[in-house]
Structures are given as C-alpha cells and as structure tokens.
Chains A and B, each alone.
Chain A
C-alpha cells in the first residue's frame, strides 16, 4: 500500500517535471540562442556567449526596439478598445430581444481566416488611406479581438447581473455608480482575462498585419520572420524572446491578480 503510494507520488513528480521542462526548454533555448555568437552544428552548447545583441536592443541602435514599442503600443490599444467595447456591446446584446441574431454577427470575423478577411478589407483600406499604416493594422486587429471580446463577455451578463444593476438604481445610484461600485468589481477577474486574451490576439497576429500593413508596419512577428528569411537565427531568437516575454509577464500578473480578489470594507 505504502509502496504503491510512493510509486504514484514519484510518477506525479516525474510528470510535473516533464511538463515544466517542456514549457521552459523552448524559452531557455531561445534565450541561449539570443546570447550566442557561434553555435556549431552537433554541439549541445554555444561556442561563445555575448550580451551584445541585448545591449544593442536597449541602446536603441537596431530596429528591434522600434518594433517592440510598436507591438506593445498596438496590442495595448487593441486590447483596451476591444475589451471595453466588447464588454459594453455584450451587455447590450445579452439583454436584447434579438440576442441570438446579434451574437451571430460577432462570430463573422471568425468565419473567415484572418488572411481572407484582410484581403477583402485591403481594397477598402486602400480607399481610406489606411493600408500600410499602424492605424489601419490596429483597426483590422480590433475587428477580430472585438468579436472575441463580445463572445467572451456574453456569459457574464446574466439576469442576476441585471438585478445587481437595478438594485443600485433603486438604492439611489447612477449608471456610473452601478458600473463603478457593482458591475466592474463583479467582473474584475473576467475583464483581466479578456484583456489578456485580446492582447494576445493582437500580439501574435501575422497574416492580417502583413496584408493590411503592406509590410511597412513592422510588428515583432513580422520581424521574427524577416530574420528567419535572412537566415539570422540569433536575431530571430532575440525577437522571439521579446515576443514571448510580455505574455509571460501578463500570465504572472494574472496569476497574482486572481487571489487578490478579496473583500473590501
């Protein structure tokens, strides 16, 4: 009995270790590659290591910092707009008598692939002088993440939430009070996750950005592919590290935010 339990515990530990290695190893390899100067084929470890590329990045000498700033700005803007708009739109849809029909519209961006939708939109964007601009890319990405946010938040708006809102009104509160004191605190955790997801949709977007941006809006995913095409694995690794780090930071923040959802006095 005790021997069986011990064996089970060992198996669980091994499994946990395997999962941890599986998650950490690719990032570790990327970091290692980003600081390697030579990594000859067949060798398990780079021949030489250097911090020069990272130094170059933060000194702003290369174009990578510009791409990083652009990607962060674009994704934060897209996530903020689509989370806020999706939250409010989903409320309007949830309590509308035409709920099912309206919700169907939110699924439309997902019925097409991003590239097909981008191709369709390109003509319109060219006419509006939005093609090849960061604004055009942000607008195109927002279409996707907004649709996602509407679908994501729709489940939050139950009759119970409506009752909370109405309760605030009969207690004497305004619409703003209802949001600030009741609805937003009730949906805080969900809003954080929704924002995070919307951020990721924009952050990793490649096809749509390439099409609408016409290759001129160099976000990080585009930069990674540029370096890969140039057969520059060290810079591609550095750009990939930058691509992976912000989502990791957000995951950690999300994990910290969840337990702090406590009771106020």
Chain B
C-alpha cells in the first residue's frame, strides 16, 4: 500500500475465500462432539453459528482454526488449499499480552513471525477502532471495551481472508457490545467471517447466514439466509422475524 493514510482494510487477497467443512469429526475422551458435520461458508459472508452453552460451538471454531489436533474430516478453502496461515482468530477474551503496549499488541503477529512491523498500518487501525492516543498504554491501563478494540485491531492487522470469532465482545456491557459489533461488521466487510454466539439477536442483526448447532453428537441445521447484510436496524421486521425463528429453533434444539 503506497498511501499509509488510505483505509488498510481492503486488500485484494483479503476477500473471496470460502470455507467448507465436510464430514467433520471430533471426540473428547471417547464422547463424540460432532460425528458428521458439514458447513459451507460463501466467500465474503458473515456466517453465524448459534447454539446453547456447551453444545460445541467453540470446539467447532477451534477445529476450523486448526487448534484441535485430534479432529478428523476435511476443512478446505474454496481454492482447494488448506486454511492454515490464512485465518485470524479472535477469542471472547482479548488475549492481549500484558507486558506489551497497545500498539505492540496490535503488531504481535509480525513480531512472532520475525517480520518487520508495519507501525503506520497498525497506527491507522488503532485510529479506526478509536484508540489513536492510546498506543503505549499497557492492557491493564485500558477498560474492557478498549482492550476488545485493541484485540479487533490486532485481528485486522493480520489481514487474513478468513476471520474466526468466538463470542467476541461477550465480556463487555450491552451498549459497548452493540457498538463493537457494528464496528467489527464494518471493518471486516469483504472477508469471510465465521462467528459463534449464544445470542440470537446478535445473529439476527449481523448474520448473512445463520446456522443452529444442536444435539449430541452436534449437527448444524440447513441455515437461514436473510437478504442483505448487517448491521440491520433493531426495528427492522427482518430482525424481529429472524429473532423469533431462531429462538424457536433453539427451544426445539434443547427439548
């Protein structure tokens, strides 16, 4: 990128990569979590995986991220190659390193890979998440919402075509959470994003494809594909309809 002041979020290789999971299998201590799981995420879409606590949402995301060594099945990108090295992962905890300042936390990926650190791009991302003046603050000097924004900037800094998010922002208050969800939806537009959540309203507002994970071993339903993309207005009839449908599906899943 020649102009450091230009928006750093859109880069040619950061879009247009779908993700397909087929015959996914995972077991913990002999108990199957998934037996024959399939998931198809269109390039550049926001896919939500909704489910109650303990059903295996986080395990599914960790499996796609390649963090579960004993899983089976095929997880491939739409270009037929493995996903390794092309995903960014964001946990529900900010996972900032407490000994590094905010800007250094944003650039930690390059540091770990032994690459040169692009300070200008990191500073531009910090500005986009609204933290321009906080470059040298240690994580324990920032509020919970600010730490989550640093984590979001770190995720964007990785500039990967696929982004996996495990209940992001669930640790902050409701208003901050809503603002952060809208911010991340805006900044992540164009990438293939897979998110897990237990909140049907979040999925209804932001999802382009919404699956419910349920059962034991867990399976995904066929999914809902609401028109348009998020963030949708809370008063939008599409949102209220989706919310009701998703709550119904969750209720069926539990009973």
Bound together: no
